[in-house]
Amino acid sequence: MADIDIQTIFNDKAREFKSEGSGSLRFESDFVSAVNAATRRINRQADLETRIGLVSKPNGTIGLSDEYQDVVEDLVTLGLVQRGQRQRNEDFDIVEIRRTIDERIDMIRQDILNQAQEADTGNTGDFVGIGAGSGGVDTGGDNA
């Protein structure tokens, strides 16, 4: 699993938002802000153990598996629209993205939890209250 390539998302969004070839500094700035807003939201909502770092330019990578690129792209789209960028395709359903994005971020969190549980090789010491272990438990009996 590779990290998410920012340059690819930037190129796609430049085409999607009428900015291709214009070299717009405002679009570039809005894009970086939108990517950082997306990473902050994923960090906060997915409660990642390793936080995703912020970016300062529209290239490089985000430290999140590329299998979640669609979620990042939709968050960036929301961020660009909120910053006043206009999409080329006026029929694009921004309302649908807003409606489903929280659930999709939660899927990232759940995937990471599932991967952590699968990686746990039967160490029951990490789980409290499931009856594992012995000793030190007061059963209420009187040994005198």
The confidence band for 32, taking pLDDT boundaries of 50, 70 and 90, is very high
The confidence band for 25, taking pLDDT boundaries of 50, 70 and 90, is confident
> Would you state the pLDDT for residue 114?
82
Residue 54 has pLDDT above 90, yes or no: yes
β-pairing, 61-65 vs 3-5, is: antiparallel
111's enclosing H/E stretch is: helix 94-119
Among 20-24, 46-50, 85-89, 99-103, name the most confident range: 99-103
Name the residue ranges covered by the structural domains of the chain: 3-120
pLDDT digits (tens, 9 = 90+) for 108-134: 888 888 887 787 755 544 444 333 444
> Would you state the pLDDT for residue 23?
56
Residue 144 has pLDDT above 50, yes or no: no
User: In sequence order, what DSSP letters do the residues of 32-89 get, joined into one string?
Assistant: HHHHHHHHHHHHHHHT-SSPPPP-SSS-SEEEEEGGGHHHHHHHHHHHHHHTT---S-
> Would you state the pLDDT for residue 48?
75
